[in-house]
């Protein structure tokens, strides 16, 4: 009888320890919202293709509460003239608002003397510990500015789109191996598209390629989870400098497009872009950012190792660059 009781106690203790270990497990989420609706035709000023992408990374616990949150945004401005020629040079890189810091210039106009970066960080901190339902319940005015005095003290920017992105990130969160004690990182790389062209017989194209990476790292610096996405924001215009694109349609990410992106048809391994991005994310999990940076590539930026080539044939330079930023941004 004593032996039986002892065995039962051991089992109960093991179960309790297992439950405690699992309680620290969280899901990792990444969401992107891209809009074109601030773009303008040529007038007194050059035409503007403004591609605004909001990126949010979250960690969500088993109770649906946001454990950690990071918010960033990239505002890509491409100018063109009245003859339909691009003014902004190809290859232009667009830093995020977090990367711009005080150069973004919101502090001067802010009633609370806070830069965009500071306000975004304050909002991210404010939503931690809350559920999506609670976050969606934050009171705002018609301009989507917070009306509660507790939040207004640190955040005066419009928060509607950030709340929407947080909700989206939480809904898309996956159990990939992260723990609540891990460090969350978010990286964004945005460059003017190599396919940007002047208007001629066909409409001109002003566009950017953006890559987004969310990672979590443990106390040893190893990646415990990774999510990758990308978007191609594009605005068309004619030889008179008039925009011909529908600016009210949001740009879907490559993950959201899925098979509609069309990579599978051209892929030697028959894999769509989102499948290859997920494969790369899985491949780097368990590695340190330094090890990821050292993944061998050829001059075209494709992986040369046979272990990675079997599942990833798209170029990975932008994956690596965005991941390096995510490892540094926390």
List pLDDT tens digits, range 220-232. 999 999 999 999 9
- Is pLDDT at 14 greater than 70 in this prediction? no
Q: Which segments of the chain does DSSP mark as H helices, in order?
A: 2-23, 97-100, 106-109, 116-127, 132-136, 149-152, 160-171, 254-257, 263-266, 273-284, 289-293, 306-309, 317-328
- What is the rounded CA–CA span in Å between residue 279 and residue 222? 17
What is the per-residue pLDDT across 160-199, written as a single tens digit (0 to 9) for each?
A: 999 999 999 999 999 999 999 999 999 999 999 999 999 9
Mean pLDDT of 60-89: 98
Burial tier of 18 (Cβ tally within 10 Å: 0-12, 13-18, 19+)? exposed
Neighbours of 76 (CB within 10 A): 25
Q: Mean pLDDT score of the chain, rounded to an integer?
A: 94
3-class SS at 74? strand
Confidence at 12, pLDDT banded by 50, 70, 90: very low
**327 has pLDDT over 50:** yes
């Amino acid at each position: 009888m004593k032996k039986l009781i002892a065995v039962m106690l051991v089992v109960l203790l093991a179960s309790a320890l297992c439950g405690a270990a699992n309680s620290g497990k969280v899901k990792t989420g990444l969401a992107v919202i891209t809009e074109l609706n601030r773009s303008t035709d040529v007038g007194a000023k050059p035409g503007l293709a403004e591609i605004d992408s909001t990126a949010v990374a979250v960690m969500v616990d088993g109770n649906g509460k946001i454990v950690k949150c990071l918010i960033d945004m990239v505002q890509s401005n491409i100018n063109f003239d009245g003859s339909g020629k691009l003014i902004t040079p190809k290859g232009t890189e667009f830093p995020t608002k977090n990367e711009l810091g005080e150069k973004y210039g919101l502090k001067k106009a802010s009633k609370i003397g806070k830069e965009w970066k500071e306000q975004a960080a304050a909002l991210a901190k404010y939503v931690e510990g809350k559920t999506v339902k609670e976050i969606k319940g934050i009171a705002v005015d018609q301009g989507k500015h917070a009306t509660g005095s507790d939040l207004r003290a640190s955040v005066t920017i419009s928060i509607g789109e950030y709340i929407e992105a947080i909700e989206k990130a939480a809904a898309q969160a996956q159990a990939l191996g992260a723990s609540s004690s891990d460090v969350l990182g978010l990286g964004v790389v945005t460059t003017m598209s190599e396919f940007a062209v002047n208007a001629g017989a066909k409409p001109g194209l002003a566009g950017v390629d953006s890559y987004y990476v969310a990672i979590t790292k443990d106390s040893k610096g190893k990646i415990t989870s990774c999510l990758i996405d990308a978007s191609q924001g594009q605005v068309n215009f004619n030889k008179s400098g008039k925009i011909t694109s529908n600016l009210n349609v949001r740009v879907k990410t490559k993950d959201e497009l899925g098979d509609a992106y069309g990579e599978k048809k051209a892929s030697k391994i028959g894999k769509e872009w989102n499948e290859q991005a997920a494969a790369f994310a899985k491949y780097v999990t368990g590695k340190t950012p330094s090890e990821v940076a050292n993944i061998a590539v050829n001059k075209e930026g494709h992986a040369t190792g046979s272990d990675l080539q079997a599942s990833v044939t798209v170029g990975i330079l932008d994956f690596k660059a965005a991941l390096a930023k995510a490892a540094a941004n926390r």
